Chains A and B, each alone.
Chain A
Amino acid sequence: MTLLAALADVLDRLDPPPARLVTHARDALATRLHADPLDLLTDSARTTPGGMRGTGHRTMRFTDLDLRLEPTATGLRLTGHAPAGHATAHWPGGTRTTAVDPDGWFHLDHVPPGPLRVVLDGARATPWFVA
Chain B
Amino acid sequence: MRDHTTADLLIRAREGDHAAWEEIVRRHVRLVWAVARSHGLSHDDAADVNQTVWLLLAEHAATIRRPDRLSAWLTTAARRESLTTLRLRGRERPVDLWDSVDEAPTPEDIAIADDTRRRLWRAYHTLPDRCRRLLRLLAFAPELTFQQVAEATGIPPNSLGPTRGRCLEALRRRLATTEAVR
Contact = CB atoms under 8 A, between A and B. Distances in A.
A15 B37 contact: yes
B64 interface: no
A5 B139 contact: yes
Contacts of A25: 25, 29, 32, 50-51, 54
Interface in A1-55: 3-18, 20-22, 24-26, 28-29, 31-33, 43, 45-46, 48, 50-53
Contacts of B49: 130
Most buried by A among B18, B83, B88: B88
A4 B142 contact: yes
Interface residues of B, number: 53
A12 B172 CA distance: 19
A85 interface: no
Given A3-B168, A45-B88, A58-B88, A11 B51 contact: no
B9 to A, nearest CB: 12
A104 interface: no
Contact of B140 (A8, A13, A50, A113): A8
Contacts of A3: 168, 171-172
Interface residues of A, number: 45
* Chain A interface, DSSP helix/strand/loop, else mixed: helix
Contact of B120 (A6, A24, A33): A6
A6 B168 CA distance: 12
A26 to B, nearest CB: 5
A1 to B, nearest CB: 10
Contacts of B135: 4, 7
B29 A22 contact: yes
Given A7-B139, A25-B29, A51 B55 contact: no
A114 interface: yes
A32 B34 contact: no
B56 A128 contact: yes
Contact of B124 (A10, A20, A58, A92): A10
B84 A45 contact: yes
A114 B112 contact: no
A110 to B, nearest CB: 18
Given A5-B139, A10-B120, A31-B55, 20 more contacts: A3-B172, A4-B168, A6-B116, A7-B139, A11-B139, A12-B30, A13-B111, A13-B112, A15-B37, A17-B32, A21-B50, A28-B54, A28-B57, A29-B13, A46-B83, A46-B84, A117-B55, A128-B55, A128-B56, A130-B52
Interface of B: 13, 16, 18, 21-22, 25, 29-30, 32-34, 37, 43, 45, 47-52, 54-60, 81, 83-85, 87-90, 97, 108, 111-112, 116-117, 120-121, 124, 135-136, 138-140, 142, 168, 171-172
